[in-house]
Amino acid sequence: MERPGRRVPARIPERPAAAARTRRRLPWGPVVGFGLVSLLADVVSDGARPLAGPLLAQLGASALLVGLVTGGAEAAAQGLRLVFGPWADRTRRYWTFTMAGYALTAVCVPVLALTPLVGAAGLLLACALIIGDRVGKAVRSPAKTVLLAAVATPVGRGRGFAVHKSLDLAGALLGPLLVSAALAATGLLPVAFAVLAVPAAAALFLLAWLRRRLQDPGTAKPPQGPTSASEPAAGRAPTLPGTFFLFAVAAFFWSAGLVAFGVISFHLTTAVAVPVPVVPLLYAGAMGAAALGALASGVAYDRAGPGVLLALPVLIAAVPVLAFAPGAGLVLAGVLVWGAATGIQDSTVKALIADLVPEFRQGTAYGVFAAFEGAGLLAGGALYGALYNTMPLLIGAVATLQAVAFVVLLVTLRTSRHS
């Protein structure tokens, strides 16, 4: 009851239009924030990646050692997610893994500038730092994706992952441009690595700022008792839904048919006579197509549902038909289709994983899914290497793999709809 004589101030109603604009604007802040962190981290990591081989060669490495180190680093970036994803779910410390993974990249890459200064130990140090950068990717990726899935829910996971991927790809373009400018100005590899300390520090600063302002989904306790077939009973390790494993099997088949850009660039320079300096420009075009593919598929995912992913095997099946054609125009079309397919694979696919798997198991899911994709990429590398000189067989093999992927993906979508 109000006291006599005391005036209660009237609440000023918020204008409906202003309230609607506020609701639309604020949820995008964390999504864009994570996207900017990824942009800065990719400036660092993708800026250093083209220079890893020249640096190791300068330090006295053989071609075999360069192949082992760079190949092992990429294998660690994919395979170790199977370790760190479940680990993040068990501890519920998603922010800890995210920040540790970004810190590894932010430290390892700029320190490569010091390797020519430490004498005989420089080669060993460089190998460890190159691998450390990619291990950082494995440490942070599953946990960061869980965080992103949580903050993207208010705006739509399809759109959220698409915007994040587009910013991520912008960093993949800016990094090589930055180190190229440093090399053009100085001609010194250590300077090119040293300038990457600036975006590395900015990424860590922005990540710490986000950490202070966002709730950690790990603070929410998972369900205590099994309420469905997918929830764990007491004392048992959590299991992933069967629809998720169907989706992962589909990913294995489409990954086995998605040619690496290195094979496309080999074809461009040997069979189509494209000048080597033009190849990076074509790769940049592919990254632009990847950004558009991620955005378009993300919007379609939120509006029409996960059926939009059925376009992915179709795009992948078209890549060898176009990219390995004798004419430059068809090859350019193949490069753009390849870029669009990779953009969808790295964005909207993750949105469906978040919808198939409960939040407290998503770290495990992203780690397992990466293992399926990595196995498919390994099989695809062997396939393209073995059948490159017999192009009709290669095109037929890729088409068969994508037909299987399409069927398994269709079964996955129908099963998830019924469940």
The tokens describing 411, both together, are 């079964």
Q: Which residues of the chain have pLDDT under 70?
A: 1-26, 63, 67, 71, 218-238, 262, 276-277, 280, 419
Task: Note the pLDDT tens digit of each residue in 238-269.
Answer: 588 999 999 999 999 998 888 777 677 777 77
* Residue written as token pair 């690496």: 260
Q: At how many degrees (to 10) do helices 278-304 and 328-345 cross?
A: 50
How far from 168 is each of 14, 37, 110, 154, 174, CA to CA, in Å?
A: 36, 8, 20, 21, 10
d(CA 271, CA 274): 8
Taking the CB of residue 215, how many other CB atoms lie within 10 A of it? Answer: 12
Taking the CB of residue 393, how many other CB atoms lie within 10 A of it? Answer: 13
The domains of the chain, with CATH numbers, are 29-215 (1.20.1250.20), 242-418 (1.20.1250.20)
d(CA 97, CA 77): 14
Amino acid at 320: P
How far from 132 is each of 54, 102, 183, 194, 254, CA to CA, in Å?
A: 18, 11, 24, 17, 29
pTM of structure:
0.72
Task: Note the pLDDT tens digit of each residue in 71-83.
Answer: 678 778 888 888 9
* Residue written as token pair 């169907």: 246
Residue ranges of E strands in 19-79: none
What's residue 269's pLDDT? 73
What's residue 191's pLDDT? 92
